[in-house]
A and B are shown apart, each in its own frame.
Chain A
Amino acid sequence: MEFSTHLSPFQVLSINPKYISGVLVVVCWQYFLLSRRSLKIFLFFFFANTACSCYASVHAVHFHEQAHPQTAMDKDCAQSGLTWQVRANQRRYHQRQQKKSFLGFRWGRYSDNQVRSYKYSVLTFLPLTLFEQFQRAANLYFLFMMALQCVPIISSIQWYISIIPLILILSVRGVKDLINDMARRRSDFEVNSRPCDVLISQRFSPVQWKDLCVGDIVRIHQDQTIPADVMLLCSSETHSLSYVETADIDGETNLKYRQALSATHDQLTSEPAECTLAAFDGVVFCEEPNDGMYAFRGQLHWRGERFLLGNEHLLLRGTVLRNTQIAYGLVVYTGADTKILRNCGKVRAKRTRLENSLNRAVVVIMVFLLLAVLLLAVACGVFASRVMSRTEVLSALVINGDPVYTGFLVYWSYFILLGPAVPIMLYVTFEMIHTFHSKFINWDLEMYGPQTDCPAQARTTSLCEELGQVEYLLSDKTGTLTQNRLLFRQCCIAGEIYGDASVRAEDTEPMDLTWNPFSRGGLFMWAPALVERLRAQRSPTIRQFFTALTLCHTVMAHWKEDALVYQAASPDEEALVGAARELGWVFLSRSRDFVVVSELGVTHHYELLALLDFTSQRRRMSVLVREPEGALKLYCKGADIVILERLQRDCPHQESAEKALEVFSEACLRTLCIAVRSVSETSWDQWSKTLARAVAMATFDRDALLEKLYDEMEQDLQLLGVTAIEDRLQEGVPETISLLKQAGIKVWVLTGDKKETAVNIGYASKLLDPDARLLEWQELRQILQSPDPDVHFHKLKQTDLWAVEKEKAGVQTAVVLTGPELTEFDQKPEWGAKFMNVAQQCRTVLCCRVTPGQKADIVTLVRKHTSAITLSIGDGANDVNMIKTAHVGVGLTGVEGGQAVQNADFSLSSFRFLQRLLLVHGRWSYRRISLFLRYFLFKTCSFALVHLWFGIFNGYSAQSLYETWFIALYTVFYTSSPILFVAFFEKDVSAENSLKWPELYKCGQRQELSGPRVLFASLAYALYASLVLFFVPCGVYYNSAVDYQTMAVTVSMAAVFTANIEIVLLTRNWTKFNIAAVCVSLLLYFICSRITHSKFFFQREPADYLFYGASDEAFADPVVWLTALLTACLAVLPSMTFLALSVIQTTHHKHKVHSTSRQLVEPRTQFTRKTSLCPSFGSGT
């Protein structure tokens, strides 16, 4: 029996027989781990659980008998994938099956409603955080080193030396994790302890969220947040409609309605509700918990009947109940099973290019070190066998008299000694700097939008320097370049165009609409003829056109302070419904079955039969209504190509409409076609039955079937007219684009709009020059198909068609592509590289009519065929894909919901802030982090590699040239703070000048400060410095009476001087912090040296503080000072020379930049459009 197996003890314990062997292993393991006492507890629990599960199975049998009549149905459900069972008012039953875990065992089926986003508890914090941190290779490396240092025979430096940086790193990260976790705990607690009314023994009593259980019946009041995924049973509103705000889920602030089944609505709505609800014993069968936010399939079995459940019956956790007094619902999914928590997927960590090259550099260092260590070990073996066997004083030190063994041990000793060359502190510091840079972005007043009260926000903190290297900017159009504040400007009805878009919206003469009590202004269209015809009601087409506008949408209406307020999912709909309202066709309200409309003051009720919703694939939506007169009508609105191909043959006005479409799109207006179809009663009957069957289907091809059905219905349409909506350019867009272009960034526009609209926006936003030539698909195809695209491209440019200005032809070309054409790339993968080759030579690329998926594909194409950094910017849900795909994703907090922002790495409130984000913050960040990286590699390597050279002079014995404490403090105290402040505050050029000279940005694109060659150069420089650091003191002290400790102090002093002089050479922006940091670092060296070389420490631990007295002697010796000074100066001489040479060159370069930028600025101001296609955008120039 299928049912009983569901509840077998195995199932309850959730131990599959095949896992039993695994479990046994675990049990054995536990046995070893646990002390005797805790083992007892464990066994107690184990038996208790077994007992519990037996009890459950007994009950299952009992229930099985009770539920017998339903078994056939259940089987049916199980077969169609509806295996999740929820029994109303069976709190105990569900509680027993709640998920529990103990010592790695998990059993139970239903999650409880507790959010546990925290990771650590008091006991697990230390082991877990250590485990996480030691997954980093560098940390593990240091741990390994530390372990080696504990072996006395090979420990060339004491173990506590590397534990200091390691502990510092571990504790910094640990504390950070802990703080985050505490914050999560607090917010968890806050969420878990929210109150909620649950029906318990016929009364609603307040319960905390965390105690909510599957099967509970809950009461939700207006403005309350829904505590779990709840099936709506009934509400206080008519038809049990309820409205929810999903701002927390997708950021959209418009209301969406949910509706109860008519069965539950009819049977359960009563006063008081408690009695009827307590008697409710329906069973819900639905899908297992999944992450499909907008899909839900299930059945309600109640009183022997089956009712289908869909997405519209489900109130999701996290949404807020609005405009509804009270709603009652049955909890279906709780806690971790809810849709929103299922959707909290892992965030894909983006790694920057710089971080990758850093990792490579660290690997190079490690490999180099391992090789060097190997060489040294071999040399040591040779030294041991050749020299030491003849030296009485040393020969006894060849361990066990075996040079090979000695060499082996020295291998590890050198491994430890050269370890500090691996920049372990770098990762922590790196993170700190990133955090600071993102804070600077958040804090920037110049990127704060006062209208929206929205500062810029770095949501991902680790990508700041990537902003300074962007080469491809892929931008959405609507809402990103344009305002997405849509104005109904023109329409074409029955072949006649009303309104004039050549007049700016603000200059439009307002029409006299005082006759319309619903008019609230905001219509920027001058068409008295239309109003006249409307009011006269002479033309049925005009009447139908506006009826279509009032009916065919998903807008919600409600009254607020005696005014009708529309809430729409898309601004287009709001603009259309609003325009209709202004002209007297007022959408008043909607219920499940009716749409109430006032047509010129007369209220009509249209029965809503079906709503064929909008998807980005279908690109149209329709409503099927029964008119008050009884006729059936299908109103459809959608994108022009979709509608035009569905028109009936010989549709009147088609030609004039197409012409109008052309005119509108040339004026950069967004167009939609409106059409109607009369539906006969018989065909509706048939269609609705098929539809009902299709909806009831629970299989996966249901959607395809629905698609087909919808398509069937949306045929033989009769064109009513075309709407034209203006979407104006955002403030500062043309300036920003031309600035970014000067900075060498290629701006591509990807839009779902028509080609004409996109091209015109391109002109208006200065993306395209007025005399730019468009390279369209035909020619592009030829180029791509030709064996040598480059040659073909150039040939094409030479032809008359192109060569207006031959030498400029390449620059002036723009590629225009459309979505359907892009699909051809799927079949021809080799075109990708060719296309990118052509595109790189063109000014820009416009992709029109692209789906969200294709937007992401284009980003992928760019990423695949170039090594450039891509940045995607968008504002809507359709941009989420591309934002996630690009190296850097920027979301605009705009009119469309917040999904783009939620998936973005940075959020801005306006497109124009992009120039500051890239040219100022990005450039600075890139420069700072590159400097930091190079300096860090330099200072750690130069100081540690000294031991390579000293090895030659000490018999390759892994003798340290520094006092052990110096090694520990060098990275932490003597050299860390100056570079930190450089990484925080460094700027070579002020913000104003960064924007004035956008060419400076190209430095980041070419990786001038961080390329592999540069990193290699800094490593080579470090090697040179280490040579100097050793050989100059060596030369001075050779064959002299200077002892080892004095030399050690000299070299360490020289190393500190070198590191600090180098930072002085790097710093161009001296804030008081920088000056203080350098002074403090130097002072600290002397103070700490005196402390660690003091009598106090020596007397307590003579073996560890052997340098007692060394610095007193050394600091008083002029030769030590002169040697250290000479060494440091020689070590930084290349850097100094390089700096001097670059200063000499930049004096010249700056001169050039200045003069060229002047030249570039002038044509911009003189810019005039060849054809004034979009006069409304003329204001931009």
Chain B
Amino acid sequence: MVKNENESANRPDNTAFTQQRLPAWQPMLSAGIVIPGFVLIGLAFIGIGVALFITSRSIQVLELDYTGVEQDSPCFRCSDPDVRDCVCSIQFSINRLFEGPVFFYYGLSNYYQNYRRYGVSRDDIQLYGDLSSFKEPSDQCEPYRYDRNNQPIVPCGSIANSMFNDTFRLFQNVNGQQVVVPLDGKGIAWWTDYNIKFRNPSITPLRNAFNGTVMPLFWPRPVYELDPSDPANNGFINQDFLVWMRRAALPDFRKLYRRITEGNYADGLPAGNYTLEISYNYPVLSFDGRKKVVFSNVSWMGGKNEFLGIAYLVIGSLCVVMSAVMLIVYAKFKFPEED
């Protein structure tokens, strides 16, 4: 017996693994599974598509372009770069109740906020409130790192420098009187941005932290005075600043400006005439850009998005059509065989 074992010393092990006999599930696909499978997938997609489409349809959107390219536009006057401190107003009317909560966006187009060198041109340590970066901003911020007098710019970099600075006020025209629609600017930025990513230096008053620095070149006011109405909403944690610093994905984008959630307008904007007063500061015509204001309400899927629903519908129907083609192919192959 011992000898026998010696003789077969080189005998391979007889295990499921070495003999490639691991227990396995081999799905036996056949036309009977594949074609109904395709139909099912198609139907599921169509279902989702319909749901999305209907949801999207129920969302109300109002877009107002105020770039002022056209001569008859109320903001045409302001679009001249030489005009300073220009205010223009746009009249618009709402036919039926614009259901709340209404989100108030500003939108820019042909604006490459996703340009790489634009995107990296910021100093995250500085924005985290680190005072050492106040004196010597990161070299990523070039060319907005120091001003001509070699003073450090805070907040440095392209993104901060190009912050959107048009402001809006909304009025409802009730019986010839303009009633201010209260705009809620709280909590429009991401929680993580507001609470963790951006921090003011822990020096009071805040402005002392910025001694020896200059504000970004394009800015009219320093960062610690961005919101004169609310002292807590200043510095790096200013909501508008936070929204701007979160880069857009594509060159046509909108960013949340305010929400309309207060007072009489908590349920939405009632039908009527409205006036939008714009203090026009931000130049976009030089790069064929457009500026607009968007009012929209939201559903579970966020803002209005017809593309997604239609895409689901198209692909779902494609699957169904494909399954029909397969059925024909199958019939063509199968039936001559049985003759």
Contact = CB atoms under 8 A, between A and B. Distances in A.
A232 to B, nearest CB: 35
A130 interface: no
A1046 B8 CA distance: 62
Q: Residue among B116, B138, B158 with the most chain A CB within 10 A?
A: B116
Contacts of A1117: 302
Chain B interface helix/strand/loop/mixed: mixed
B118 interface: yes
5 contacts: A453-B9, A1039-B254, A1102-B124, A1129-B41, A1133-B319
Interface stretch (A484-492, A496-504, A834-842, A1105-1113): A1105-1113
Contacts of B41: 1129
B44 to A, nearest CB: 10
Interface string B101-132: 00001010101111111110100110010000
A1037 B250 contact: yes
Contacts of A960: 116
Interface in B302-339: 302-303, 305, 307-308, 311-312, 315, 318-319, 322, 326, 329-330, 333-334, 337
A152 B111 CA distance: 25
B10 interface: yes
B17 to A, nearest CB: 8
A1113 B27 CA distance: 37
A538 interface: no
A318 B22 CA distance: 43
Contacts of A1145: 329, 333
Interface in B173-227: 190-193, 196-197, 218
A1109 B192 contact: yes
Interface stretch (B30-38, B230-238, B268-276): B30-38
A1123 B303 CA distance: 14
Given A957-B115, A991-B20, A1137-B322, 4 more contacts: A394-B158, A444-B18, A444-B19, A1036-B307
Contacts of A1072: 22-23
Given A1070-B24, A1109-B193, A1119-B308, A1043 B248 contact: yes
Interface string A1133-1144: 100110111011
Contacts of B250: 953, 1034, 1037-1039, 1047
A693 B41 CA distance: 92
A924 B19 CA distance: 13
A955 B247 CA distance: 15
A427 B305 CA distance: 44
A957 B333 contact: no
Given A985-B20, A1038-B250, A396 B10 contact: no
B307 A1102 contact: no
Given A443-B18, A1117-B302, A1122-B48, A1144 B330 contact: yes
A1069 B26 contact: yes
Contact of A955 (B112, B124, B218, B318): B112
Contact of A1103 (B124, B283, B307): B124
A442 B326 CA distance: 43
Interface in A1029-1062: 1032, 1034-1048
A1148 B333 contact: yes
Contacts of B112: 387, 391, 394, 954-955, 957
B150 interface: no
A1069 B283 CA distance: 62
A454 B10 contact: yes
Contacts of B337: 1148, 1151
Contact of A1039 (B125, B161, B253): B253
A135 to B, nearest CB: 34
Contacts of A1046: 249
Interface of A: 152, 156, 387, 390-394, 396-397, 413, 440, 442-445, 448, 450, 453-455, 924, 953-955, 957-960, 985, 987, 991, 1032, 1034-1048, 1068-1074, 1095, 1098-1099, 1102-1103, 1106, 1108-1109, 1112-1113, 1117-1119, 1122-1123, 1126, 1129-1130, 1133, 1136-1137, 1139-1141, 1143-1145, 1147-1148, 1151
B308 A1126 contact: yes
Contacts of A958: 116
Which of B112, B118, B128, B287 has the most CB atoms of chain A within a 10 A radius of its CB? B112
Given A959-B119, A1106-B124, A1118-B300, A953 B23 contact: no
Contacts of B263: none
Contacts of B71: none
B144 interface: yes
Nearest to B245: A1043
B242 to A, nearest CB: 11
A1129 B38 CA distance: 12
Contact of A959 (B24, B114, B307): B114
B29 interface: yes
Q: Which of A443, A1048, A1098: most chain B Cβ within 10 A? A: A443
Given A1126-B315, A1137-B322, A394 B253 contact: no
Nearest to A439: B18
Contacts of A387: 112, 287
Contacts of B326: 1140-1141, 1144
Interface in B3-62: 7-14, 18-20, 22-27, 29-31, 34-35, 37-38, 41, 45, 48, 52
A922 B250 CA distance: 50
Nearest to B16: A1071
A1140 B315 contact: no
A1139 B30 CA distance: 11
B255 interface: yes
Contacts of B322: 1137, 1140
Nearest to A1047: B249
Nearest to B319: A1133
Contact of A1035 (B246, B287, B311): B311
A1129 B315 contact: yes
B293 to A, nearest CB: 13
Given A396-B144, A1070-B24, A1098-B196, A1126 B312 contact: yes
A392 B192 contact: no
A440 B20 CA distance: 7
B254 A1133 contact: no
A954 B114 contact: yes
A1113 B189 CA distance: 12
A394 B113 CA distance: 9
B301 interface: yes
Contact of B301 (A1037, A1119, A1133): A1119
A1039 B111 CA distance: 11
Contact of B251 (A390, A453, A953, A985): A953
B13 A443 contact: yes
Contacts of A1099: 196
Contact of A391 (B20, B31, B286): B286
B190 A1113 contact: yes
Given A1038-B250, A1109-B192, A392 B286 contact: yes
Contacts of B30: 1143, 1147
B262 interface: no
B251 A954 contact: yes
B252 interface: yes
A1148 B334 contact: yes
Tell which of A954, A1037, A1039, A1072 has the most Cβ of chain B within 10 Å: A1039
Contact of A445 (B19, B24, B197): B19
Contacts of A1113: 190, 192
A1041 B298 CA distance: 12
Contact of B117 (A397, A991, A1095, A1139): A397
B27 A1039 contact: no
Given A413-B116, A1119-B308, A1144-B330, A1070 B253 contact: no
B256 interface: yes
6 nearest CB pairs, A to B: A1109-B192, A393-B162, A443-B18, A1047-B249, A959-B116, A1102-B124
A1123 B10 CA distance: 56
Contacts of A1112: 192
